Amino acid sequence: MNDVAIELAGVHKEFLAHGERVQAVRPTDLSVRQGEFFSLLGPSGCGKTTTMRMIAGFEEPTGGTVYLDGRDVTGVSPNKRDVNMVFQSYALFPHLNTYQNVAFGLERRKVARDEIRRRVGEIMEIVSLGGMDKRSPREMSGGQQQRVALARALVNRPRALLLDEPLGALDLKLRQQMQIELKRIQREVGITFVYVTHDQGEALTMSDRIAVMEAGRIDQLGSPREIYERPATRFVAGFIGTSNLLDGPVDGVEDGVAVLRYGDGDRVLVAVPESVKPGGALEVSVRPEKIDLSRDEPTGTTGSVLSGVVTDVVYHGTSTNYTVRTAAGPDLVVFDQNAYSAEDLAGPGDRVFLTWSAQHSYPIGVS
């Protein structure tokens, strides 16, 4: 029993665009585990769709090997690969009804008619489309078409299901509903999902693991929590949620904790690997919701402390967002949950103190 469903070994892809070689995907190693919900996340043009299309067989890698279930499938045409894809445009067959759409894959594999009927019925129940067999795709709403596309792929029980921004065309409410649906369906059928998206919220809520891609390269691969809490690069820190990036000289390193000082009691503490030595510059990321804001000077804190002036206050319902100018580089953003505060902690122009514990700062780009 092999528990790796998909493996990419040194896979890369070059395109010729206007006579120039463009590296759409740089040499990439990646393995997707059996039964996991794996997301490829990144902005448009980062190579995530090309990576997926190389797994499906619609693009041939310029170099490297694609393995499905341990078998080398590089150069094998899409109709002979045991993976199925859900297209961004759904790509339903407009001249066939729902049943014929869903049965298409099974018919190609010469499955017996009774068996086809049984399996199509089964999958239609799972995607909540029972009784819609005779409907034509154009008589269905976007959400329903989405489910047909899903059923058409899942009914074949592929080794892995590849989803290319499948919720992109739906409105927000339906998208959130479908996110939960998709996760439920994935648990129910137990098939490996590879999910391409540019929506970081979607990737965070649904995935077991996420690969964040930028400019044809995987910047970071890890669980949603790892990626959110400990962004490995400046790009990941900025792309996933909101991040504050501070930089400054390393004043000293003690017990694996570096201190960045900005004079007059302002300091940022961050746990660092051994490679970081005093004297160099360091970039540190801290999430806005980890920072406490107060008008009173903190006493006896062992964590990071920065003083500054509030420049902007925006009320967001569940939280209030403060922008604070400090000595540590660009303005910091602080989210204060409105669970306890009945009114704003400070107004524009107020002098405030920002504190957070050392464990909430992460060094960027060091290993």
One of 109, 172, 254, 349 touching another protein (CB under 8 A): 109
Q: Does 56 bind another protein (CB under 8 A)?
A: yes
Choice between 132 and 250, CB closer to another protein: 132
Q: Which stretch binds another protein (CB under 8 A): 85-93, 239-247, 299-307, 338-346?
A: 85-93
One of 152, 175, 287, 360 touching another protein (CB under 8 A): 152
Contact 355, 298 (CB under 8 A): yes
Locate the DSSP E strands across the chain: 4-17, 20-33, 37-41, 63-68, 71-72, 83-86, 160-164, 192-197, 209-214, 217-222, 244-254, 257-261, 267-271, 281-286, 292-294, 304-315, 319-326, 332-337, 351-356, 361-363
Alpha-carbon span 32 to 69, nearest angstrom: 10
Residues 334-363 that bind another protein (CB under 8 A): none
Q: Does 169 bind another protein (CB under 8 A)?
A: no
Alpha-carbon span 2 to 4, nearest angstrom: 6
Q: Does 66 bind another protein (CB under 8 A)?
A: no
Burial class from Cβ neighbours inside 10 Å (0-12, 13-18, 19+) for residue 273 reads exposed
Under DSSP, is residue 187 helix (H, G, I), strand (E, B) or coil?
helix
| Whole-Å CA distances, 198 to 26, 32, 36, 166, 255 | 19, 19, 19, 11, 39
One of 63, 75, 93, 325 touching another protein (CB under 8 A): 93
Give the nearest distance from C-beta 63 to another protein in angstroms: 23
Q: Does 95 bind another protein (CB under 8 A)?
A: yes
Give the nearest distance from C-beta 239 to another protein in angstroms: 27
Alpha-carbon span 158 to 87, nearest angstrom: 15
Choice between 153 and 286, CB closer to another protein: 153
Choice between 84 and 320, CB closer to another protein: 84
Q: Does 89 bind another protein (CB under 8 A)?
A: yes
Contact 273, 314 (CB under 8 A): no
Give the nearest distance from C-beta 136 to another protein in angstroms: 7
Q: Does 54 bind another protein (CB under 8 A)?
A: no
331: DSSP letter:
P
Give the nearest distance from C-beta 213 to another protein in angstroms: 21
Starting at the edge strand found earlier in the chain, the sheet holding 37-41 runs 83-86, 160-164, 192-197, 37-41, 209-214, 217-222
Q: Which stretch binds another protein (CB under 8 A): 34-42, 90-98, 199-207, 265-273?
A: 90-98
Greatest extent of the chain over all pairs of C-alpha atoms, in Å: 79
One of 27, 35, 78, 121 touching another protein (CB under 8 A): 78
Q: Does 128 bind another protein (CB under 8 A)?
A: no
Choice between 86 and 227, CB closer to another protein: 86
Q: Does 18 bind another protein (CB under 8 A)?
A: no
Query: What would the two tokens of residue 254 be?
Result: 């003690």
Give the nearest distance from C-beta 105 to another protein in angstroms: 4
Q: How many CB atoms are located within 10 Å of the residue 117 CB?
A: 15
Contact 120, 106 (CB under 8 A): yes
One of 23, 104, 179, 358 touching another protein (CB under 8 A): 104
Give the nearest distance from C-beta 43 to another protein in angstroms: 21
Query: What would the two tokens of residue 315 be?
Result: 């009320």
Q: Does 189 bind another protein (CB under 8 A)?
A: no
One of 2, 10, 60, 108 touching another protein (CB under 8 A): 108
One of 15, 63, 75, 77 touching another protein (CB under 8 A): 77
Where do contacts with another protein occur on this chain (CB under 8 A)? 56, 58, 77-80, 83-85, 87-89, 91-95, 104-105, 108-109, 135-136, 138-140, 152-153, 156
